[in-house]
Structure 1
Amino acid sequence: MKTNAIEEALVERFLRYIKIPSQSKANGGKAVPSTEEQWDMARLLQSELEELGVQDVSLSDKCVLTGRLPANLPPDAPHVPAIGFCAHIDTVDVSLSPVVKPRRLHYEGGDIVLHAEKEIVMRAAEHPELAPYVDQELIVTDGTSVLGADNKAAIANIMTALASLTDDASLWHGDIYVAFVPDEECGLWGSKNMDFSKFPVDYAYTIDCCALGEVVYETFNAGSAEVTIHGVSAHPMSAKGVLVNPTLLAVDFVNLFDRRETPECTEGTEGYIWCQTIRSNPTTATVELNIRDHDKARYEARKRLILENVEKLRQMETRCRVECRMEDTYGNIADAVTDDNRQAIDHIYEAMRRLGITPKTIAMRGGTDGSFISTKGILTPNYFTGGLNFHSNCEFLPIPSLRKSYELTMALIALAYEKAQ
Structure 2
Amino acid sequence: MQHIIDRFISYVTIDTESDPKSDTTPSTKKQLVLANLLVKELKAIGMIEVTKDTNGYIMATLPSNLEHEVPTIGFVSHYDTSPDFTGANVKPQITTNYDGGDIILNAERNIVLSPNYFKDLIQYKGQTLITTDGTTLLGADDKAGLTEIITAMEYLIQNPTVKHGKIRVGFTPDEEIGRGADKFDVGKFGAQWAYTMDGSQIGELEYENFNAAGAKITFKGKSVHPGYSKGKMINSMLLANDFINELPKGEIPQETKGYQGFFHVHHLTGSIEETVLELIIRDHNAKKFKKRKDLIHDITKKFNKKFAKQFGEDIVITEIKDQYYNMKEMVEPVMFIVDLAEKAMKDLGIKPLIKPIRGGTDGSRLSYMGLPCPNIFAGGHNFHGKYEYVPIESMQKAIDVIIKIAELTATTDFSVKEITKPKKSKSKKKK
Same structural fold, with TM-score higher than 0.5 when normalized by the shorter chain = yes
SS where residue 298 of structure 1 aligns?
A: helix
Please report how far the alpha carbon of residue 292 of structure 1 lies from its aligned counterpart in structure 2 after TM superposition: 0.3
1:324 to 293, 318, 326: 318
Percent of paired sites with the same residue: 37
Which residue number in structure 1 is paired with residue 371 of structure 2? 378
Question: Does residue 1:265 correspond to 2:255, yes or no?
Answer: yes
Partner SS, residue 397 of structure 1: strand
Paired residue for 2:267? 277
- Matching of residue 342 in structure 1 with residue 335 in structure 2: yes
Indicate whether 1:143 and 2:134 are aligned. Answer: yes
Matched, 1:179 2:179: no
The 1:265–1:398 alpha-carbon spacing in structure 2 relative to 1, beyond 3 Å, is: closer
- Opposite residue 26 of structure 2, the aligned amino acid is P
Is 1:83 the counterpart of 2:93 in the alignment?
Answer: no
1:255 alignment partner, SS class:
helix
Aligned to 1:366: 359
Between 1:166-175 and 1:344-353, the stretch displaced more is: 166-175
Deviations 1:239-258 (Å, cap 9, x if unpaired)? 55554433333233333322
Q: How far did residue 389 of structure 1 move?
A: 2.5
Q: Which AA in structure 2 matches 1:11? A: I
State the secondary structure of the residue aligned to 2:337: helix
Q: Out of 399-408 and 329-338, give the one that drifted further.
A: 329-338
Contact residue 172 and residue 181 of structure 2 kept, 8 A: yes
Normalization by structure 1: what TM-score? 0.90
* Structure-2 separation of matches of 1:119 and 1:249: 40
Q: Which residue of 2 aligns with 1:165?
A: 156
Partner of 2:277: 287
- Of 113-122 and 157-166, deviating more is 113-122
Question: What's the Cα RMSD here?
Answer: 2.2
Look up the SS of the partner of 1:250 in the other structure: helix
For residues 8-35 of structure 1, give each alpha carbon's deviation from its aligned partner in whole angstroms, at most 9, with x where no partner exists: 33222112112212122332x6333232
Where does 1:46-125 land on structure 2 (aligned, <5 Å)? Answer: 46-74=39-67, 77=68, 79-96=69-86, 98-104=88-94, 105-125=96-116
8 Å contact 2:17–2:87 — kept in the other structure? no
Q: After alignment, is 312-321 or 215-224 more displaced?
A: 312-321
* Counterpart position of 1:230: 220
- Name the amino acid aligned to 2:300: V
Deviates more, 1:108-117 or 1:261-270: 108-117
Match of 2:5 among 1, 4, 11: 11
Moved more, 316-325 or 377-386: 316-325
Q: Structure 1's 260 and 242: CA in aligned 2 closer, same or farther, altered over 3 A?
A: same
Unaligned 5+ segments in structure 1 are 1-6
Partner SS for 1:174: coil
Contact 2:144 2:378 in 1 (8 A): yes
1:331-367 per-residue CA deviation (whole Å, 9 max, x = no partner) reads 112121233x212100111111110111122222111
Tell me if structure 2 keeps the 8 A contact 1:33–1:190.
Answer: no
Q: Secondary structure at the match of 1:32?
A: coil
In terms of mean alpha carbon deviation, does 274-283 or 324-333 score higher? 274-283
Structure 1 pair 199–9 and aligned structure 2 pair: CA distance change class (3 A): same
> Which residue of structure 1 lines up, in the alignment, with residue 419 of structure 2?
none
Task: Report the counterpart of residue 4 of structure 1 in structure 2.
Answer: none
Name the CA shift for 1:260/1:145 in 2 (closer, same or farther; >3 Å): closer
User: What code does the residue aligned with 2:183 have?
Assistant: N
Query: Against the structure 1 CA distance between its residues 243 and 157, is the aligned structure 2 distance closer, same or farther, given a 3 Å change threshold?
Result: same
**Contact 2:141–2:383, Cα closer than 8 Å, also in 1:** yes
| Superposed displacement of residue 271, structure 1 | 0.9
- How far 1:233 sits from its partner (Å)? 4.1
Cα distance between partner residues in 2 of 1:329 and 1:145: 28
Matched, 1:197 2:187: yes
Match of 1:419 among 404, 408, 412: 412
Distance, in Å, in 1 between the alignment partners of 2:258 and 2:26 is 32
Query: What amino acid is aligned across from residue 401 of structure 2 in structure 1?
Result: L
Q: Cα distance 1:283–1:209, how it changes in 2: closer, same or farther (>3 A)?
A: same
- Please report the TM-score for the alignment, with normalisation by the length of structure 2: 0.88
Q: Per-residue deviation at 1:374?
A: 1.6
Deviation at 1:131, TM superposition (A): 1.9
Structure 1 residue corresponding to 2:397, chosen from 395, 404, 407 = 404
